[in-house]
Amino acid sequence: MKISDPRVLTRLLKTYRHSILSIALFTSSGLSHALVISDLYLSEIMANPQAVSDSNGEWFELYNPTAEAFSFNGLILSDNGSDYHLIDTSDALTIQPGDYFVFGRNGDSNSNGGYNPDYVYDHFLLANGDDEIILSDLLGNSLQISYEAGFVSSGQSMELTDPQMLISDYQLSTVFSYGAGDFGSPGTAGSTQLPASAVAEPSSIYLLIIALGGYYLLARNKAFCGNRIDLNQFGKKLLSTKQLAS
């Protein structure tokens, strides 16, 4: 049986498609996942600028602690009230590993207090009392924070100091100022450098390719007998390969 024959390959894939799919799905669900919005951190919030009006100067910042780039396109920005904004652009809108990304209400640095947002939204306000920031995808993954009255201060952002992202992990910005004089570090680390998270794990499609590649190599090693894997013969082959290597 020649594995290079397309008919043989098709037959092999048909025979073992359930096993291949099971391996890929099991591995992707149990051991790894593609990067999702909840893998990022909501690293800084400016809900009450002092140098300019709230409608011009509100912004918030995300940090990517992983080793993979992430695209915001297609996500929804909302709160528990009526704020709602679908991120839908022709740009990839990507945050790189170890980088910061600023969402702002006004893109003009001459009137927004003096910072440069990576993305400008509308129909979304940051209240100075209690409010929520919720970034979510259609699969139910979300990154969110809910703050109460007293959390927001005039002219100073709140910056994240710990990856747990509890409300108590945010502190008032007092060190760095930007543009027109408000305190905060839009687009940069600020007074705390957040740690990198574990290296992002491979996505499901990557694992599926590996699984398919594994079966192809098995077949190429002639460990197949007829239309089924001869485990005895395959085990002997593995053993002899191991003995050769040692």
Q: Which two tokens stand for residue 198?
A: 């574990």
Q: Which of 9, 76, 120, 125 binds Ca ion (CB under 5 A)?
A: 125
Question: Would you count residue 54 as binding Ca ion (CB under 5 A)?
Answer: yes
CA 85 – CA 11 distance, rounded (Å): 48
Helix, coil or strand: residue 78: strand
CA 101 – CA 187 distance, rounded (Å): 6
CA 92 – CA 82 distance, rounded (Å): 27
Q: Which of 57, 113, 117, 190 binds Ca ion (CB under 5 A)?
A: 190
Smallest distance, Ca ion to C-beta of residue 155, A: 12
Scanning 15-23, 39-47, 109-117, 197-205 for contacts with Ca ion by CB under 5 A, the matching segment is 39-47
| Binding residues for Ca ion, total number by CB under 5 A | 13
Scanning 89-97, 131-139, 171-179, 226-234 for contacts with Ca ion by CB under 5 A, the matching segment is 131-139
Scanning 72-80, 169-177, 193-201, 211-219 for contacts with Ca ion by CB under 5 A, the matching segment is 72-80
Q: Which of 38, 50, 53, 128 binds Ca ion (CB under 5 A)?
A: 128
Question: Would you count residue 179 as binding Ca ion (CB under 5 A)?
Answer: no
Question: Would you count residue 156 as binding Ca ion (CB under 5 A)?
Answer: no
Q: Given the complex with Ca ion, which of 118 and 223 has the nearer CB atom?
A: 118
Scanning 42-50, 90-98, 205-213, 219-227 for contacts with Ca ion by CB under 5 A, the matching segment is 42-50
Side chain identity at residue 82, one-letter code: S
Smallest distance, Ca ion to C-beta of residue 126, A: 5
State how far the alpha carbon of 22 is from the alpha carbons of 17, 32, 65, 162, 208, in Å. 8, 14, 30, 37, 10
Q: Which of 41, 66, 83, 106 binds Ca ion (CB under 5 A)?
A: 83
H/E stretch holding 131 reads strand 131-136
Q: Which two tokens stand for residue 114?
A: 């003096």
| CB 81 within 8 Å of CB 129 | no
- Torsions phi, psi for 210 (to 5 deg): -60, -45
CA 145 – CA 164 distance, rounded (Å): 11
Q: Where are the alpha helices (DSSP H) in the chain?
A: 6-30, 54-57, 204-220, 231-245
What is the DSSP secondary structure assignment for residue 153, as one 8-state letter?
Answer: B
State how far the alpha carbon of 240 is from the alpha carbons of 74, 114, 220, 235, 245, in Å. 52, 68, 16, 9, 9
Scanning 73-81, 108-116, 200-208, 217-225 for contacts with Ca ion by CB under 5 A, the matching segment is 73-81
Q: Given the complex with Ca ion, which of 9 and 87 has the nearer CB atom?
A: 87
Q: Given the complex with Ca ion, which of 28 and 78 has the nearer CB atom?
A: 78
Question: Would you count residue 50 as binding Ca ion (CB under 5 A)?
Answer: no
Residues engaged in binding Ca ion (CB under 5 A): 44, 47-48, 54, 61, 79, 83, 125-126, 128, 131, 185, 190
